[in-house]
Amino acid sequence: MRALQLTLDEAVDDTSVKVIVLAAKGPAFSSGHDLKEMRAHRNDPDRGLGYYRELFAQCSRLMQTIIRHPKPVIAQVQAVATAAGCQLVASCDLAVASSDARFATPGVNIGLFCSTPMVALSRAVPRKAAMEMLLTGEAVTAEEAKNIGLINRVVSPADLETETLGLARFIASKPTQSLKWGKQAFQHQLELSLSSAYDYVSEVMVQNMLHAEAVEGIGAFLDKRPPNWPEN
């Protein structure tokens, strides 16, 4: 988590990075926290209290960094994503999964309800679908995950990287500042009332309209020519 946090932080000001893809090696995309490591801290003088607080605070910071990151983040899910791993997928802006992938929040099965994964999951999928995953702990297939909105696309394992990178490059071809404002506005307006959301995004539209990207994009559309996006 520390390494991923550092990488995401560095990418904020890296102008060579337009879109971020989170991919994994090994038999799982992410199986969540290391239970053996967590159990070992029960032997700490405070029974692990300090360690557990820092662990879950660190995890929460990481997930919020993805949500608030100025650049789109895509999960490339090749296999199982469970507990905090499922939370990671739910926190990303988009997700492309192999047909072999499975998704679960199985904490209820071990007496540790997936409360932190619940935050991301409940904001990504309908309430009853989230509750079923949380209360039963049962895994859902990639197709089921797509149907409830947890992921965007399901592809064959052989096509996963090509499909994900193709999507990333297509998004990266869009104007940079517009992507940044759009992602930030999307996430922020979800936290507002309806009227406050419209007030907020109306001002975002005003500022976007005055930006060089909108000047060029609208001009190119009206002139019937490809846009030449300005450097940011």
**CATH top-level class for 176-223?**
mainly alpha
Residue 92: its pLDDT value, please?
A: 98
Residue 120: its pLDDT value, please?
A: 97
Tell whether domain 2-172 is in CATH 3.90.226.10: yes
pLDDT band at 83 (very low <50, low <70, confident <90, very high): very high
Residue 165: pLDDT above 90?
yes
Positions of E strands within the chain: 20-22, 28-30, 73-77, 80-82, 94-98, 102-104, 140-141, 153-155
Report pLDDT digits (tens) over 1-17: 999 999 999 999 999 99
Helix, coil or strand: residue 183 = helix
Return the sign of the alpha-carbon dihedral for residues 47, 107, 54, 122: negative
Domain boundaries, the chain: 2-172, 176-223
